[in-house]
Structure 1
């Protein structure tokens, strides 16, 4: 006879959740697998995503293949580099999945870029450039990402690799990295615009767009969003110039003249240690000289401790309250949470691929894994007093341990040990033979 206690009740609830997570995983993977004509890559893509969800110390085709029970990494390397499949169509499947599970008419599309540090110059898109991730100029890749934030949760949605002019002006370098002929130079705001247009064309429900100064300072992006009737709250620099009733003024000049009663204390969202309270003010701006009717504002955030100011250019096709704009501004930070989870838990930045196709395929499957985790957190019933809502990171651990943890045989462990040592011996022999050609 089972004696029911709070602990056994929660354990039973987790068993129910694990079944629902399994069903949700099938909902995500079934349309993705249908993109593959052959059974081998169809089977491998499932094993690949399960490997991304596993607690592997590093994630690459070798470790993922071993986790999947393969005898060598060749199959997974083929999946990422040589198999025939369209990563854009798979991202469309992920977008449809996110729309079903997290969709909301007031959802926010968040745009931002992240950098991956790389050595050398042959990895596609790499050069010395500023990386917000590192906070300085580094040898790195940069990619623009689009994420989806709704009252139900938030997930990465789409991506575009940024190619600097040093790459797009070098046809030989592009060809070596397998970059398609039709790909040319595009700024980060232009890449963001394409991602947003693709999401809207796919029927994703959304109302707002949010981004940092790299995107708020681009007037063409703002005009395109107005044309799509998408409201926006985009960060701008203190030197950003805006039209006012007194002429063109800098954002920081406008803030200096505000009276005390113009500021309101509002929360930008819940943080780990409480609400993120700031002082906020917003100023209505004259209509822009274009064909898009709507309402323009300058939103200003003031840190209550340091007095530091941040500025946002805002637009909406209909009037909205200050509190609503503050909510949109605060939700921009969800993409940082997504980046952290995707890098620390899913290996977003651990790929070892130099070519265009392989980079997009790896990133696409990481996006799929993250979307699954984000959606699965909304299904949890095993909540009890004294527990915070389940996080993406905790759900990944539970899903692996309760659903996909492999029962590796002794033979499989030994097979992989032999494979690694054989590969290392071949590499060692090759190095010595190459050295012998030039050294006495």
Structure 2
């Protein structure tokens, strides 16, 4: 039982990037940073971390609700956009909840991976994830025993990624929070149920679509790419999709009105790269007509989710878990989201209260994390602490090795 707990949550490392840092520090003769969170935090064993993620009595969904309120309070923006997207963590084996061979943008190919859908609140003051749902493939939901072993309900029903998005957006709105817009990529833009659910609630959206997506205009039904070829030169406008690290992201944009007897305004939005000519397409809806610049702003907000994934993984360890069961995954992820939201909230408050002088860029989440670790946490890693963890690792590996030999002998 102890061994199973260690396999699930005992070795919570900082992941692949930290492993590379560890090896580089050792080659350069620098002090080697501890490689488990419990060790890095100054604890003598991983028992406390195991207990927090696996056995302690607390509700991750209640923490999620508190996190959502915290993010909206500190990053509040009347023009904020909810961005929905999924990200995957590459995994080995088949025992980790939700794992199967599937495409993940993290690797850019089909891998043995675990995928989750996230909802990100993106406003002018900052952005942070406010909800998450694990994508559980049919290979899992069709096997009740496998679900039970991973801590899922035996009657867990399969849900597509757009259905998970509807669930999270509904939770956000039902909690009393307001948003005028939702953005997402082709996975979500191509789903009629998601679009219908948003229109029913009067929530606008700018959702990416495929070039083969068909829309109905006053002249008939056409593919999106066929309509783009028919646009005259004067239909395009140069507009910024938002400021990036290297300046404004300028593209050429055009919008085509889509007639519909239902209330609201609908358009096909087309984006053209000013250098390559590459086109991208968006299905748009708003309760009332809005200018092209508003649709472009919402479309540009979708990149915030990529920044959230990057900083959430790089600064808060969103993807650095080695957990197997659903409850432990849910707890780890919500704590990582909370840590990232804290950095985003501090950044927003600092920018508002203490604007940086012209000679300095404003404080970033990366810099705030470094300062927080250096000035607040101050973990103690003396010789006795490091020798103690060395002893623990050797003892743990000896027990694991003995367990493997016993299991092998039993199977033989």
TM-score (structure 1 length as normaliser): 0.83
Partners of 1:235 and 1:313 within 8 A in 2: yes
* Structure 2 residue matching 1:129: 3-state secondary structure: strand
Correspondence for 1:172: 145
Deviations for 1:2-38, whole angstroms, at most 9, x for unmatched residues? xxxxxxxxxxxxxxxxxxxxxxxxxxxxxxxxxxxxx
Kindly state the Cα deviation for residue 78 of structure 1 after the two structures are TM-superposed: 1.6
Give CA-to-partner distance per residue, 1:349-370, whole Å, 9 cap, x none.
1211111111111111011011
- Cα shift at 1:87: 0.6
Of the three residues 69, 72, 84, the one matched with 1:111 is: 84
SS at match of 1:314: strand
Deviation at 1:203, TM superposition (A): 2.1
Q: Equivalent of 2:231, from 231, 249, 258? A: 258
1:397 to 370, 380, 389: 370
CA distance in 1, matches of 2:231, 2:403: 71
C-alpha contact 1:296 1:314 (8 A) present in aligned 2: yes
Match in the other structure for 2:246:
273
Cα offset, 1:70, TM superposition = 2.4
Q: Secondary structure at the match of 2:86?
A: strand
1:139 aligns with 2:109: no
Shift of 1:99: 1.1
Distance in 1 between residues matched to 2:159 and 2:408, nearest whole Å: 43
Structure 1 runs not aligned, ≥5 long: 1-50
* Partner-residue secondary structure (3-state), 2:362: coil
Structure 2 CA distance for aligned equivalents of residues 157 and 325 of structure 1: 23
1:333 deviates by 0.4
| Residues 227-283 of structure 1: CA deviation (Å, up to 9, x unaligned) | 111110000001111110011111111111111000000111111111111000011
1: distance between equivalents of 2:117 and 2:225? Answer: 28
Match of 1:331 in 2: 301
Partner Cα distance (1:67, 1:306) in 2: 47
What is the match of residue 202 of structure 1?
175
Q: Partners of 2:37 and 2:72 in 1: how far apart?
A: 28
Paired position in structure 2 for 1:344 = 314
Write the deviation string for residues 205-233 of structure 1: whole angstroms up to 9, x where unpaired: 32100000000000110010011111100
1:432 Cα offset (Å): 4.4
Mark the runs of 5 or more structure 2 residues left unpaired by the alignment.
1-12, 23-33
Query: Relative to structure 1, is the Cα distance of residues 179 and 69 closer, same or farther in structure 2, using a 3 angstrom cutoff?
Result: same
Q: Show the 5 A alignment for 1:19-418.
A: 63-287=36-260, 289-290=261-262, 293-380=263-350, 381=354, 383-418=356-391
Q: 1:382 to 1:404 in 2, by over 3 A?
A: farther
8 A Cα contact 1:106 1:205, kept in partner: no
2-structure distance, mates of 1:422, 1:209: 51
Quote how far apart the aligned CAs of 1:122 are. 1.2
- The equivalent residue for 1:15 is none
Instruction: Identify the match of residue 420 of structure 1 among 388, 393, 396.
Output: 393
Contact 2:64 2:130 in 1 (8 A): yes
1:378 is paired with a residue of what secondary structure? helix
1:104-161 CA-to-partner distances (Å, cap 9, x unmatched) read: 2211000000011111111111111111222211111111110000111101111000
Please give the alpha-carbon distance, in whole angstroms, between the structure 2 residues aligned to 1:109 and 1:249.
29
Distance in 1 of aligned mates of 2:65 and 2:406: 48
Looking at structure 1, the residues matched to 247 and 357 of structure 2 have their Cα atoms a distance apart, in angstroms, of: 20
CA distance in 2, matches of 1:85, 1:420: 29
Shift of 1:437: 6.1
CA RMSD of aligned residues (A): 2.3
User: Secondary structure of 2:329's partner?
Assistant: helix
- For the residue of structure 2 that corresponds to 1:122, the secondary structure is coil
When the two structures are superposed, what TM-score results if normalisation uses the length of structure 2? 0.88
Question: How many Å separate the matches in 2 of 1:431 and 1:233?
Answer: 53
Alignment deviations for residues 170-207 of structure 1 (CA, whole Å, 9 cap, x no partner):
11111111102453100000000000011111222321
**C-alpha separation between the residues in 1 aligned to 2:77 and 2:274?**
32
